[in-house]
Amino acid sequence: MRYAREQLIHRSERRAPIRAKRIDGKAVAEKVRSEVAADVKNWIAAGNPQPGLAVVLVGDDPASATYVRGKETATIEVGMYSETRKLPRDASQEELMEVVRELNADDRITGFLVQLPVPGHIDVDTVMHSIDPDKDVDGIHPFNMGLLLGGTPRLSPATPSGILRLLAEEGVDTSGKHVVICGRSNIVGRPLAALLLKRGEGGDATVTVCHSRTKDLGSFTRQADILVAAMGVPELITKDMVKPGAVVIDVGTVRVDDQSRERGWRLAGDMELDVRDVASLRTPVPGGVGPMTIAMLLKNVMQAARLAASGGSHQWDG
């Protein structure tokens, strides 16, 4: 009887869902922003100029406009100077390039970015490569990407940096872990892989990068100790694709139709909600990775201020 009862308990425990702990990205982002605000206050008190962030918005895309307003508000709240440059949708390549040149030369602007996406007639690479690397707070200039790939990151893209901060806050050690990243974009997948591969804290991981041409995606995701989904495909990752006990980080945020909601839509991530039944830790959508992006962007502005005070790392004549 005792043996039968123990076997019954064992089977019951084995079948019980894990119910992943929710990682509160909003709370961690608020912590980061408080750190930045303290840094700004001390920086200015020491006689240094007020750090400044500029955002260039081309066109009238509603989502982009919302993101820009959020960045502007957050910048002011931490005590930085904020500036938004708006150009019409039909602005020419040269008009945008002139704004970039002005911001490169403006001492009030510690760092700046061009909000993506931009209209199709704009050559994005030409614009991004024209930004002074010391002011490239998006971390996507080839100079900064090269440093990142070389294992000595300086200004790193904000979303990957935010993911690492979330893992650190939860005490997740990446050393020796198998991290599977779904997505190979220049703003998330590729830089995140490079950060995880670097030596030292927050790195030393074994990294697999999957993408839209990967065959049998689940055969890779089920190997992950830490699974990051950043492909922009709603609910692509199902719970049968997740290793029991894995840490899952959902970067996706896509609006999908949902007639059960009063507004007729909801925000969905790249993972189905049911992954919480097998994972140990998870980021929600919304409220997970999203809030970290602006917070880490502000940290980059502060880092750019220090670079400027030290004379920068190079002479830039773009």
Q: How far is CA 104 from CA 34, 124, 290, 296, in A?
A: 28, 17, 28, 21
Is domain 15-25+151-293 annotated with CATH 3.40.50.720? Answer: yes
Please count the CA atoms within 13 angstroms of the CA of 235 that sit on its side-chain side: 9
Distance CA 250, CA 268 (A): 10
What are the strands, taking DSSP E only, across 26-71? 52-58
Distance CA 181, CA 188 (A): 9
Q: What is the pLDDT of residue 263?
A: 77
∠ CA 47-37-57 to the nearest 5 degrees? Answer: 100
Amino acid occupying residue 18: I
Distance CA 193, CA 188 (A): 8
Q: Mean pLDDT throughout 214-227?
A: 98
Reported as a single tens digit per residue, the pLDDT across 39-94 is 999 999 999 999 999 999 999 888 888 889 999 999 999 999 999 999 999 999 99
pLDDT of 15 strictly over 70: no
Q: What is the pLDDT of residue 18?
A: 60
Q: What is the pLDDT of residue 17?
A: 57
Query: In terms of C-beta density within 10 A (0-12 exposed, 13-18 middle, 19 or more buried), how is residue 204 classed?
Result: middle
Q: Mean pLDDT throughout 189-212?
A: 97
Q: Do 15-25+151-293 and 48-148 agree at the fold level?
A: yes
Whether this prediction's pTM lies above 0.85 is answered by yes
Out of 125-134, 213-222, 307-316, which region has the weakest mean confidence (pLDDT)?
307-316
- Helices and strands per DSSP (H, E), number in the chain: 10, 11
Q: What is the pLDDT of residue 258?
A: 75
Residue ranges of domains in the chain: 15-25+151-293, 48-148
Reported as a single tens digit per residue, the pLDDT across 139-188 is 999 999 999 999 999 999 999 999 999 999 999 999 999 999 999 999 99
Contact status, residue 267 vs residue 254, Cβ threshold 8 Å: yes
Torsion angle in degrees (nearest 10) through CA of 56, 60, 66, 70: 20
Q: What is the CATH code for 48-148? A: 3.40.50.10860
Q: What is the pLDDT of residue 243?
A: 98
Q: What is the mean pLDDT of the chain?
A: 91
Reported as a single tens digit per residue, the pLDDT across 262-313 is 777 778 899 999 999 999 999 999 999 999 999 999 999 999 999 999 886 6
Known catalytic residues are: 71, 115, 138
pLDDT of 240 strictly over 80: yes
